[in-house]
Structures are given as C-alpha cells and as structure tokens.
Amino acid sequence: MSLPDYKSPEKPSSHAVSNSPVVQLNVGGHLFTACLSTLRKYPDSKLTELFSGQPKLCADAQGRCFIDRDGSHFGAVLEFLRSDWLPTENIQEVHREAVYYNIKPLIKRLEETPRLFGELVGRQQFLSRVPHYQENIEVLIRIARAEAIAARHSTIIICVLRTEEDLGFYDNAINSLEADKESVVTFGPWKAVPSVKDLLDCVQMDIERQGYRVSVQPHVMEKSFLSRSYDYFYKVIFTWW
C-alpha cells in the first residue's frame, strides 16, 4: 500500500502576489497593503515596472512583496497614489522617495510647494553662481575633521568676497591674517542678489545637513594704525562633543 503524497503548505509566490488585486508590501520592514491598480497608477513609475509582467520582487518570510528600501516615507507616497494627497511634513524626504519611484506628478507638485520651490529654485540657483561652493564645503569639513584630534572644537577661517572689488583686496587681506593662511577657505565673488549673511546661512545649513554641529561667527581682527582692517573673515566652529 503506497502512502499518499505529502506536500507542505506553500507560501504565496511572488508571481501569485503580483497578480492579486490586493498586494501585501514590506518596504524595509514597514508593512503596507495596497491595490495593484493603485501601485500601477502611473505607467512610467518604478512601482508599475515592479508590479507588471513577470515578478521582479522577492518575498519576505510571510510571502509579502519585499522592497529593500527604507519605508519610513512610503506611506506618504502611497497616499498620493490613492487620493492625490500631498504631505505637509518631511517634504524633502518624500520628494526623494518620489524621485526614486519616478512618480512624476508627485515630484512636480512637491517641487511647487513653497519649501522645495525656495530650495530648488531660489537657494540652488544662487549657490550655482558661487564659484566652487560645494567643493569648498567639502574642504571645510575635511580640514575640520583633521583638526578634531583630542579637541572639542575645530575652528576654520573662511574668507567671503562678495564683489569683484573685494577680490582686489584679497592678497592684502589674507596677508593681514594671523591664522594659518593655507587653511583659509575662500568663497566668492558672486553675481547675485543674496548677501554675505545669506551665503553664511547656506554654509551652516549644508554642513549641518551632513550631521555636524556648527556655528558661524565674525573673525574679529586686531585693528592697527598702520594697516587696514578687513571684515571678510568668519569662523566656522565645529563642536564635536
């Protein structure tokens, strides 16, 4: 007498899940449930690509479609797909996810919000006119890290030249500086409306975005009757602990 064939219960395959009208999702450990039609709402999106045709996703231990990406803001993306709802918080983070999933209507509408419009159109257009701005930020951080050995603070001197006229005084100004001239990072000049204070705010903002604690203060030089005092210099102070 032969024994009946025994088959262990099978978990849903990726193919079965992808053809179901309702999809269980695991996005980096965050769980979601969505209609397949919702995920495929925009034909050019990465989600439509992932959930069309042959399965392109692996399944987690419970058979849910797994997307190997931080899912902290995927809920906001999903709400837009469902109801055209725009988030009011974490705009930049949601925008990053919209770009990753290539959801163009969401990208466009987020970029029209006051915060991203100011960042992408106003601030970035200004910074594009400041020569070597991003490279200077990287140099600032590199010098600060090199000076952080056994110290609570790193102080880096920057020179801000707003106009071509300021640039003409650069050699005299840098020679009047008591600090190590080789470590001075120079910004400018630039042809745009924003002021020196606007540039300093941008420098602080972009360094802090990388996780550093910084403050920016004028570097006060001792006045002398024999030489001119220059107000081009500022201290960028990194606090390590």
Domain final residue pick, 56, 83, 112: 112
Mean pLDDT, residues 90-95 taken together = 95
Whether residues 103 and 137 fall in one domain: no
| Residue 7 confidence class, pLDDT cut points 50, 70, 90 | very low
Of the CA atoms within 13 Å of residue 149, those in its CB half-sphere come to: 3
Same structural domain, 169 and 220 = yes
- The pLDDT value recorded for residue 124 is 92
> Using an 8 Å Cβ cutoff, are 25 and 34 in contact?
yes
Instruction: Count structural domains, the chain.
Output: 2
At residue 150 the predicted structure's pLDDT band, cuts being 50, 70 and 90, is confident
104 and 25 belong to one structural domain: yes
Select from 83, 112, 141 the last residue of a domain: 112
Residues 85 and 142 in one domain: no
**Distance, CA of 41 to CA of 56 (rounded, Å):** 18
- The larger pLDDT score, comparing residue 20 to residue 187, is at 187
Q: Is residue 200 part of a domain?
A: yes
Distance CA 95, CA 77 (A): 9
**Residues 166, 234: one domain?**
yes
pTM of this prediction?
0.72
Question: Around Cβ 188, how many Cβ atoms within 10 Å?
Answer: 23
> Is pLDDT at 113 greater than 90 in this prediction?
yes
H helices within 147-215, ranges in order? 164-168, 170-175, 196-208
Same domain, 144 and 179: yes
Domain that holds residue 102: 14-112
The verdict on 230 and 139 lying in the same domain is: yes
Residue 3 in any domain: the answer is: no
| Average of per-residue pLDDT across 203-213 | 96
Domain presence at residue 148: yes
In a shared domain, residues 230 and 142? yes
Contact 21, 73 (CB under 8 A): no
**Are both 86 and 144 inside the same structural domain?**
no
Rounded-to-integer distance, Cα 147 and Cα 180, Å: 13
Is 197 a domain residue? yes
What is the strand order of the sheet 22-27 is part of? 30-35, 22-27, 65-67
